[in-house]
Amino acid sequence: MKLSTNQLRIIIKEELSQLERDARDLGFSAWSDKLSEKQFQSLMALVADSYYSMQPKQEPIPQMTRDQFNQMIKEELSNFLEEMSKEEEQFFGEEIKALVDNPDELYYVKTVKPRNPYVDLEERQFLNRRWLEQNVGRYLGGGSFRDAYQIKSHPDKILKISNRYLQYDPPDGHEYSTVAEETNILEIELFNKYPGYFPKVYISDQEIQGIPRWLVIEKVEVIEYHSEFIRQLVRSFKSIPKSYNLINELIAEYFPSTSADFPPASGSGREIDPEQWAYVAWESVGYNEPERLKNVLKDLPVWDEKYGDPAQHSAERVGDEEILLDMAVEKAWKVLTSDQYLVKFWDMVNDLHIEYNELRSGNVGTDIETRTKFLIIDISIFED
């Protein structure tokens, strides 16, 4: 008995239904990028188990070895993934199709003279920028290792491509690897692992050894100034404005404004600088130090208004002040640490050993569609 292609496809789609939905939610993220060899083997086993479980008990298992069956599944899965890849190309239009169909046009070879006069002339690859501008889109800029291009039919996405600078000598039988291509691999891995905090990777070029020369990512709005950085903290992490409003309510409760205050609490030392609170609240979760919030509140003149000169405080009054401070901080801290987007952000930062001072304007951005995501756009800040 031989498993029909249609039967296999039904089983495959059932087993991969969640992954398929995830892939489409991510914007046709390339399946080849999402499936490691280990995952591929696991899926093969799932499909095989599913097939055997669907057979009527009275019907014998097909007369073929497990290896033969797995080989058939592997071939059909490869076809399935190839069709998905074609769907991706169709989705992204002629520009990406041109990249896929014309890999030899992306680079040209030129003989160059090394700076060292004792070294012979050598052949090196150079990015074909003219072809890319004609077939993909306008050149947007570039760094030491990668160039960025607009995609004509998809203005919300950009192409990042290796300029093949600083090529490493590969082992025999292997494709060239460069700093840019290794950066591309890292960018794909980071988005797959932390999709909420890195620009979306839609599709990439996987060479024989799995080295992507180019990838298509979402276009993001770069946060260029510190004031924008603070505003983005408030937009992205909902607990920050919520905790700010709560702490102001608590201060108003603990120290009611008088009839002389207009508007209430204005100019009396009760108000908290919203920008200071936003940054300290955000950072305090990273350090896991609620004491930082307490320090902000201690600086408010309202405490001295209530208790007088700190140097003249009695032990009883100091105790009263600390109780109020601790109560306020405890309630604000509960709000902040209930924000899963904020907590998971700092978990990710710590997992990747990112220096906190690198999380600043210029290194982060936000999505153009909702402007609510807090995205790390400069992955060089944590490369070894």
Q: Is residue 299 part of a domain?
A: yes
The residue from 155, 188, 218 where one domain ends is 218
Q: Is residue 357 part of a domain?
A: no
Which residue's structure tokens are 């070895």? Answer: 65
Q: pLDDT value at position 121?
A: 75
* Co-location of 249 and 334 in the same domain: yes
User: What is the spatial distance between Cα 72 and Cα 76, in angstroms, rounded to a whole number?
Assistant: 6
* Co-location of 203 and 248 in the same domain: no
pLDDT digits (tens), the chain, 384 positions:
444 545 555 555 555 555 544 444 433 334 444 455 555 566 666 666 665 665 555 444 454 555 665 666 666 666 666 666 666 666 777 888 888 888 889 888 887 777 767 767 777 778 899 999 999 999 998 877 889 999 998 999 999 998 865 454 544 444 555 677 888 888 888 888 899 999 998 888 864 456 788 989 999 999 999 999 999 999 999 999 999 999 888 877 776 655 444 444 444 445 788 999 999 999 999 999 999 999 888 777 665 555 545 555 544 554 566 788 888 899 999 999 999 999 999 999 999 999 898 999 999 999 999 999 999 987 765 544
What are the CA-CA distances from residue 62 to residues 8, 50, 59, 77 (Å)? 14, 14, 9, 20
* Co-location of 62 and 167 in the same domain: no
Q: pLDDT value at position 375?
A: 96
Q: Is residue 379 part of a domain?
A: no
Does the pTM surpass 0.85? The reply is no
For the record, the structure tokens of 302 come out as 């309202």
Beta partners for 41?
A: none
Q: Is residue 346 part of a domain?
A: no
For the record, the structure tokens of 222 come out as 């770069």
Residue 240 and residue 234 in contact, taking contact as beta carbons nearer than 8 Å = yes
Residue type, 317: R
* Co-location of 277 and 305 in the same domain: yes
The residue from 72, 91, 110 where one domain ends is 91
Going by C-alpha positions, the residue among 26, 156, 152 that lies closest to residue 96 is 152
Q: Is residue 276 part of a domain?
A: yes
Neighbouring C-beta atoms of residue 118, cutoff 10 Å: 5
For the record, the structure tokens of 89 come out as 């190309």
Widest distance between CA atoms in the chain: 93
The residue from 91, 111, 134 where one domain ends is 91
* Co-location of 48 and 108 in the same domain: no
At 79, is the secondary structure helix, strand, or coil? helix
* Co-location of 107 and 208 in the same domain: yes
187: left (phi over 0), alpha (psi -120 to 50) or beta: alpha
* Co-location of 107 and 209 in the same domain: yes
* Co-location of 46 and 153 in the same domain: no
Neighbouring C-beta atoms of residue 17, cutoff 10 Å: 10
* Co-location of 87 and 155 in the same domain: no
Residues composing the chain:
384
Residue type, 67: D
H or E segment to which residue 80 belongs: helix 66-92
56 cis-preceded (ω within 30 degrees of 0): no
Beta partners for 204?
A: 215
Going by C-alpha positions, the residue among 272, 215, 224, 255 that lies closest to residue 28 is 215
Q: Show Cβ contacts of residue 82 under 8 Å, excluding neighbours closer than 6 positions.
A: none
Q: pLDDT value at position 146?
A: 86
* Co-location of 48 and 107 in the same domain: no
How many structural domains is the chain composed of?
A: 3
* Co-location of 211 and 109 in the same domain: yes
Q: pLDDT value at position 283?
A: 96
**Residue 150, domain CATH:** 3.30.200
The DSSP-derived string for 288-327 is T-THHHHHHHHTSTHHHHHH--GGG--HHHHHHHHHHHHH
Alpha helices in 161-254 (DSSP H): 179-193, 226-236, 239-254
* Co-location of 277 and 297 in the same domain: yes
Q: Is residue 56 part of a domain?
A: yes
Q: Which domain holds residue 323?
A: 239-338
What are the CA-CA distances from residue 99 to residues 26, 83, 147, 233, 312 (Å)? 21, 17, 15, 37, 75
Residue 278 and residue 233 in contact, taking contact as beta carbons nearer than 8 Å = yes
Q: Is residue 380 part of a domain?
A: no
Q: Is residue 78 part of a domain?
A: yes
User: What is the spatial distance between Cα 147 and Cα 158, in angstroms, rounded to a whole number?
Assistant: 10
